[in-house]
A and B are shown apart, each in its own frame.
Chain A
């Protein structure tokens, strides 16, 4: 009997192996900023010069994101947030289901926000599934913009739109584009944060990419 005839290991086993080896990219390193509409062209131009995936023009995306929350049944912990993203410009692509944990800003010496993150590609009736699971839609919006890649770093420059009730054209939230620089990596690879800082510095003074705690901002206003 050849090696191919050995019994396949169960999915749970392979998952726990992967967990042990720490190869699952479940941490997101994140820097955020924005750029005014008037300056976005300059930023794009600069990114075209800096990034890898620009041979065949810039990559665009047009996504819709729905944010769900799942209450803790014991009312103890904060509700679990799940986000579903689907591409409006490529309808046959799978949905992206995301779990994002609490952001950890750390002290001043930490270069980026770190938050736990699970990125799961899904197909099927995901929205309905989440609804039935007990999730509740918190809010939704659409994002439209450009995606760049530099090594492991992902840079998105996007406009955030409110979803309008009627068939009106979607209404942008502000006169700026949201700029995000992120890397998904397994736990403990903090060195990437320095790389991200270095890259963020290249975009100054056009964009100021920073660690931003939206939780605190939300309470402030």
Chain B
């Protein structure tokens, strides 16, 4: 018996916490709406709803879980109804419910949906259960179609808009993949930079590229004629020298 009481207390405590969380979240939402409606960032404002729904699912989880059944067996009995202001109640509810009156109690202590709502729910359930599988599939397909169509429109709009913003800066496309590749291969492997051998890989075999003589070119003695920097006039020398330097082949 005592154990059950304790459990009940713990459950109530948990529920109370959840409800309080929910309350503060709602308060925050309302105060935001009232005070910052001019500067509000709507996407972040929408996040508040996400928080609310998070709290709600948390609460319903507790209520559904196995800890709760004891609650079902607990009866709340309105002992006293009256029109006089009940200070204790007002304080408990932060001034929202000043008295336990007749018009409030049915709403506050309701355990089932309202009869009208219940009826409508039943209607819908019935409609859903009578629907054939095929029609359901058809409707789902239709729905997906509509959604994908909307998605297309939006993404196309975005593309247009981005293109527009680029064009408004006064340009057509600003880079070209082909140029990127040309430049990177040129710098990386020398493609297009070797005079006389247009597209030779880095390990190209054959006559060494004849670099034009450059600024402070080192003085090439006869011994250095093997070096590829020699002017083309002594090409024969290169061959001869290549035999001396087998690694140059």
**Chain A residues packing against B (C-beta within 8 Å):** 32-36, 38-39, 42-43, 64-67, 69, 71, 73, 78-79, 81, 86, 88, 125, 127-128, 131-132, 134, 136-141, 143, 160, 162-165, 173-176, 178, 205-208, 210, 212, 214-215, 217-219, 221
Contacts and interface: CB of A to CB of B under 8 A. Distances in A.
Given A34-B175, A138-B190, A174-B179, A73 B247 contact: yes
Contacts of A137: 208-209, 211, 227-229
B221 to A, nearest CB: 10
A159 to B, nearest CB: 9
Contacts of A64: 214-215
A33 B208 CA distance: 30
Contact of B175 (A36, A67, A81, A138): A36
A34 B180 contact: yes
B195 interface: yes
Contact of A163 (B171, B185, B212, B228): B212
B171 A34 contact: no
A139 B183 CA distance: 14
Contacts of B227: 131, 136-137
Contact of B186 (A35, A127, A160, A207): A160
Given A137-B209, A137-B229, A35 B175 contact: yes
**Interface class of chain A by DSSP:** mixed
B212 A176 contact: no
Nearest to A141: B193
A221 B191 CA distance: 10
B189 A212 contact: no
A217 B184 contact: yes
Task: Determine chain B's interface SS by DSSP, over half rule.
Answer: loop
A131 B187 CA distance: 21
B224 interface: yes
Nearest to B211: A137
Contact of A136 (B176, B187, B228): B228
B182 A138 contact: no
A16 B145 CA distance: 67
B173 A219 contact: no
B179 A36 contact: yes
B194 interface: yes
A36 B174 contact: yes
Contacts of B182: 173-174, 176
A39 B174 contact: yes
13 contacts: A32-B183, A32-B184, A33-B180, A36-B175, A39-B171, A128-B218, A136-B227, A138-B194, A139-B209, A176-B179, A205-B174, A212-B180, A215-B188
